[in-house]
Copies of this chain bind each other. A is one copy, B any other.
Amino acid sequence: MLTNPVIETLMNRKSIRKYTDQAPVDEVVETVVRAGQQAPFAYQMGSVLLSRKRAKNPFKAPLFFIVCVDAHRHEAIMAQRGWKMVQNDLSVLLLGMQDAAYMAENMVIAAESLGLGSCFLGGIPYRAEAFIKQYHLPPRVFPLVGLTMGYPAEKAAPRPRYPLEVTLGEGAYPEMDEAQVQRAMAEMDEGYLAQNYYRKLKAMIPLEDGREETFTYETYSWTEHISRKTGQWEQSPEALLEQLAKCGFHIPGFEAAK
């Protein structure tokens, strides 16, 4: 693998959930968001909300960003040009989520390069209504992802990843054989166990439906953790569709199907 200061920054990044008291100065905030803006894609449909109210922020982080899909600004500019949005909301979200996500990842990398740590929070869309109130969001703005940021008060090693062989396929999808499944799981599970990751976070997800617990923090690791999330949570799309609707985005057929 090749390396240089940028690759090192990308490879060294890990989620940080403990922060020092040092408040990043305005120039740091502006650099992070400005570098975020320079990310490529379609419509620049990303906007960023910021709270520096540390006591109320997740992990008491000095900075708490919410990166939003912003069709409101887009439509205001279309109106100046004499146009109305006609594109369906699923397509708008498909492209707008990428605008916002590429921006958010640039923010993560810029922060890392300036010595700050960060942590993504993926549950934000399920609480969209609260952010509409808190930040006075107009319709057509969808809070996509949270991002805490500050100077690290914990040390951590980069987290493990799947082997490249099950991630990259040239000419064809990289279908796993049995041995590759085992190697991929071992890479992830042994890597997280070596970091004592879930024990430190006290993050074992309880079993539902009367399933009997057979794991301890000696054995509970990444593949079991993600399986419990997608094997137990959010069976119905209704909560997410309702939050989208509160933001003024309508997925076709939802009302019809209810």
Interface residues of A (CB under 8 A from B): 1-7, 9-11, 13-15, 27-31, 33-35, 37-44, 46-52, 73-74, 76-78, 80-81, 83-92, 94-95, 97-98, 101-102, 104-106, 108-110, 112-114, 119-120, 122, 125, 135-138, 141, 144-145, 158, 161-162, 164, 166-176, 181-182, 184-185, 223-224, 226-237, 240-241, 251-258
Are the C-beta atoms of A169 and B47 separated by less than 8 Å?
yes
- 25 residue pairs A–B, Cβ–Cβ below 8 Å: A4-B114, A5-B113, A6-B112, A7-B31, A10-B39, A13-B40, A30-B164, A33-B164, A39-B108, A40-B119, A40-B120, A42-B122, A43-B229, A77-B184, A78-B227, A86-B232, A89-B237, A90-B237, A91-B237, A94-B125, A98-B145, A135-B169, A252-B257, A253-B256, A253-B257
Given contacts A80-B181, A169-B135, contact A1 B230 (CB under 8 A): no
Q: Which residues of B contact A34 (CB under 8 A)?
A: 1, 11, 161, 164
Are the C-beta atoms of A6 and B101 separated by less than 8 Å?
no
Please list the 9 inter-chain residue pairs (A to B) with the smallest Cβ-Cβ separation, ordered nearest first.
A253-B257, A253-B253, A6-B113, A101-B101, A83-B231, A105-B105, A88-B237, A83-B227, A90-B237
Are the C-beta atoms of B7 and A167 separated by less than 8 Å?
no
For A28, give the chain B residue with the smallest CB separation: B2
Are the C-beta atoms of B106 and A10 separated by less than 8 Å?
yes
For A158, give the chain B residue with the smallest CB separation: B38
For A122, give the chain B residue with the smallest CB separation: B42
Known: A88-B235, A241-B252. 16 other contacts (CB 8 A): A1-B30, A2-B114, A6-B6, A7-B31, A10-B35, A10-B106, A14-B40, A43-B226, A46-B167, A77-B226, A80-B181, A80-B182, A237-B251, A253-B255, A253-B256, A256-B257
Are the C-beta atoms of B49 and A169 separated by less than 8 Å?
yes
A237, B253: Cα distance in complex, Å? 10
Are the C-beta atoms of B138 and A37 separated by less than 8 Å?
no
Are the C-beta atoms of B141 and A173 separated by less than 8 Å?
yes
A139, B108: Cα distance in complex, Å? 32
Are the C-beta atoms of B86 and A240 separated by less than 8 Å?
no
Are the C-beta atoms of B110 and A10 separated by less than 8 Å?
yes
Given contacts A138-B173, A169-B47, A235-B88, contact A98 B95 (CB under 8 A): no
